[in-house]
Structure 1
Amino acid sequence: MPVEPATRIAYLLRMLSSTLNQQIERALRPLDLTQAQLAALAQLAISAPARLSSAELGRRAGVTPQAMWSAISNLEHRGLVRRSPHPTHGRVLEIAITEVGSSVLEQAQELTAPVDAHAMATLTEAEKRQFRSLLLKTMTGLGIPHPDPGRG
């Protein structure tokens, strides 16, 4: 007998993720940003003043190195990030966010905040904390890197 999809956590997360992704993409349209680009800007801002490689940004954003390379190329063309050679690894390019990139990141976070708020609107503050905690534990269990839960 088939299992009811709504009882499977993977199904529920897939549906939630798909809907959130669509809403975030719509929210980012005025800035002409993709989610990969937003993730790159956010990771670079968190890491600043340290610089990150495209491969590391891809890992942190959960996208392929090729997808991140494309995202970074677009961001660099727009002056939102800059690439420079690694001081000791000649083939590695390090990426840093620019002031303009920081400003665009702030705008993007303002545009996408209502998506988060809407998604969590039916939960109490205690349920929101618990939900975040459970998601982070699940990510840890799957070996997915995530930000420190104490950082907001």
Structure 2
Amino acid sequence: MAPGAPLPMDPIAEARRQWIAHGWADAADGMAAYSSVMRAHQLMYSRVDAVLKPLGLSYARLELLRLLSFTRDGALPMASASVRLQVHPTSITNVVDRLERDGFVRREAHPTDGRATLVVLTGPGRALVEKATEVLNEQVFERPGIPVGELRSMTGILARFRRAAGDFTDPAPRPDPL
């Protein structure tokens, strides 16, 4: 839900107060943190959606196009895209279907693995992802509404939470060159 007129109070702070009043003080801070992250997600997603919608993109479509643009050849096996974007293979299939219909990607047989399908970025797809990234950077990411130092702290806190939840592991350290 996009923000309208500001509420006269913070509903999450009120929910925390109610949690404490009802005897759940040990859970009140956790409830407030989870609720705050979910509301922040809604607010952030609304900003991103408002920028991408006029370009005919969703964030999921942009993520796949951007991932493909980062590869050497503009191509990835669909299964690799699913893993890297941390979404179910069915979701990748749906995104690829829409992007392919619009001419921004195409499917190709994998040259060495007969079971795999590559998703390949097209010229129009590359142009769209560059435009979308430029607009998203200018209108959202360069001015996120949180000071840079706090953004870095927030990102670090959330990364630690994600790591502890099993979202990722730290890469093995690279050996020192001889």
> Into which bin does the TM-score normalised by the smaller protein fall?
0.7 to 0.9
Which residue of structure 2 aligns with residue 126 of structure 1? 149
1:40 is displaced (CA, Å) by 0.4
Is 1:115 aligned to residue 140 of structure 2?
yes
Aligned length: 145
Q: Distance in 2 between matches of 1:139 and 1:50?
A: 29
TM-score under structure 2 length normalisation: 0.68
Structure ranking higher on relative contact order (CA contacts 8 Å, 6+ apart): 1
Is 1:143 aligned to residue 166 of structure 2?
yes
Residues 77, 116 of structure 2: 8 Å contact kept = yes
1:145 is displaced (CA, Å) by 5.0
Give the greater-gyration-radius structure (CA).
2
Deviates further, 88-97 or 8-17? 8-17
2:108 aligns to what SS in structure 1?
Answer: strand
Unaligned runs of 5+ in 2: 1-22, 172-178
Residues 74, 121 of structure 2: 8 Å contact kept = no
Which residue of structure 2 aligns with residue 49 of structure 1? 73
Q: 1:100 to 1:92 in 2, by over 3 A?
A: same
TM-score under structure 1 length normalisation: 0.78
Q: 1:19 to 1:55 in 2, by over 3 A?
A: farther
Residue identity over aligned pairs, in percent, reads: 23
Residues 52, 136 of structure 2: 8 Å contact kept = yes
Q: Distance in 2 between matches of 1:145 and 1:57?
A: 16
